[in-house]
Amino acid sequence: MSITSALVAQGSTYVSPDVEWFHLSPIIALVSGALFLLVVGALTPQWPRGLYAFVTAVTAGVAGGLAMFLWDDVTDQGEGTLVGGALAFDTFTQFLTITVCAATLLVALVSDDELRGGGKDGPEVYALFLVAATGAVVMGAANDLIVLFLGLETLSLALYVLAASDRERTASQESGIKYFVLGGFASAFFLYGIALIYGGTQSTNIGEIITSFQGSVLIEGNDALVLAGIALLIVGLGFKVAAVPFHVWTPDVYEGAPTNVTAFMASVGKAGAFAAMLRVLVIALPFHRDDWRPAIWALALLSLVIGSALAIIQTDVKRMLAYSSISHAGFILVGVEAAGHDAGEAIVGDGMPSVMTYLLLYSVLTIGSFAVVALVARSNGGDTSIEAFKGLAGRRPVIALCLTVFLLAQAGVPFTSGFVAKWGVIQAAVEEQSYAIAIIAMVSAVIAAFLYLRIMVNVWLEAGDEATQREPVPISTGLAVLASAAFTLFVGVWPGWLLDAADTVTQYAR
């Protein structure tokens, strides 16, 4: 007997949830773009030069534009939920969607030249970018832990394939299998954590979980189930954000994956994972904030210290940036820890806004950094060692200047977006009187500055190899680098408009 027949036999009728199609339009746009690339790309001959990337960039731009329109709807009508409470409709979701779409657009520009230069142009990689972006958006928008897991797997499976997409390089294959095996374990931890949360609260819906904690006292071991579930959720999410000690996959995968894919993982992958962490810990589990906040504090400490210390001893720039991303994850975790102090309160601090601001700014500047790495590697036969960057200022002064902007921003130098991002999370920690982690973050920033200075010395002060090829800078990659550098400087000088927008993410659906 079917479910519908059983309901009718019991005198009940099945009522399907209302679907607000326009409110789902960013996700629909991303999925439509991916399907268009796969279906039409498979049924037609090779498209004209740059058209795959153009379609991807337009799709991401349209989805981001729709998120901006929906932002106005949220501010006018208030936050709520969609599809029977499965997805949240709030400014938090729209801010993340804009971040993901902006990063996807920039990566599409970088990928155009990267793929065409190697004779690997085709619709598959671009479709996977859009699929992964969809998963990241769903992770941030999920109002149900099962839906969040579906978004997580959509993002992860696409990234596994993307990491191994360069079939001519053994390193790419190795990075894909390493990421897949370790990612599978992390997903299992996360799913087991969801099961334990369900066992303790009898629901996976975030709103119902909050109601369960508000309306009852957990007894008979249920509290132990919830605590164990929180621990497993943190393990799963800690892997996705590359926090120490769950970071072991990051250097090898970042180095082995194609550079454009590495840029995508460092931006979209990290943004989706941290948004999910905020949605799970701060929004869904505020009543256990005193239980999970010390764990986040410890992860932040380890990520800041180990990420910064190991970055400065690397000799490959992609591995340097990989360990740098671990250090940046530590900074973002400082903001998550600060958000935990006021989780569930009517008046919240600057923790969540600082995290979302950091994710947007870091996504742009890390894509710009990896775009320059891709240009240097292309001129040096794929070499991404620090030696390959010697004399870059003499060969490509504008590109060298843009790389310097990105490195200064990652170091947190004033008048760059990186300073705004790091100042935000440290200020949020200080406001919550988390002085120890704030001081550790500042010391780590000083240590990491040596890494960026080391690269800049090679770019500006060291003589390069005269035999190095001086290929023309591809238009789309050059555009992505210039746009990222301009945005990095613009926000560093005039950050007010972005900070005001980020302040609204605390009005989330519950």
Range of 382's domain?
17-506
Please tell me the total count of domains within the chain. Answer: 1
The ranges of the chain with pLDDT < 50 are 1-9, 220-221
Would you say residue 2 lies in a domain?
no
What pLDDT digit, counting tens, does each position of 463-504 carry? 766 555 566 788 888 999 999 999 999 999 999 999 999 998
Q: With b meaning 16 or more CB within 10 Å and e meaning fewer, what string describes 165-181?
A: bbeebebbbbbbebbbe
Q: Would you say the pTM of this structure is higher than 0.85? A: yes
In a domain, 412, yes or no: yes
For residue 221, the model assigns a pLDDT of 46
Any domain includes 128: yes
Asked whether residue 105 is assigned to any structural domain, the reply reads yes
Q: Is residue 8 part of a domain?
A: no
- What are the distances in angstroms from CA 299 to CA 77, 137, 450? 38, 24, 23
Q: Tens of pLDDT along 52-106? A: 999 999 999 999 999 999 998 888 888 888 888 889 999 999 999 999 999 999 9
Give the Cα-Cα-Cα angle 147, 149, 150 (nearest 5 degrees): 65
Any domain includes 1 = no
CA 70: distance to chain centroid?
21
Return the pLDDT at 116. Answer: 77
In a domain, 4, yes or no: no
Position 2 scores a pLDDT of 44
Establish if 501 belongs to a structural domain.
yes
Report the C-alpha gap between 200 and 217 in whole angstroms.
Answer: 11
Secondary structure tally for the chain: helices H, strands E: 21, 2
Answer whether 201's CB lies under 8 Å from 233's CB: no
Q: Are 402 and 482 in contact (CB under 8 A)?
A: yes
For residue 356, what pLDDT is reported? Answer: 94
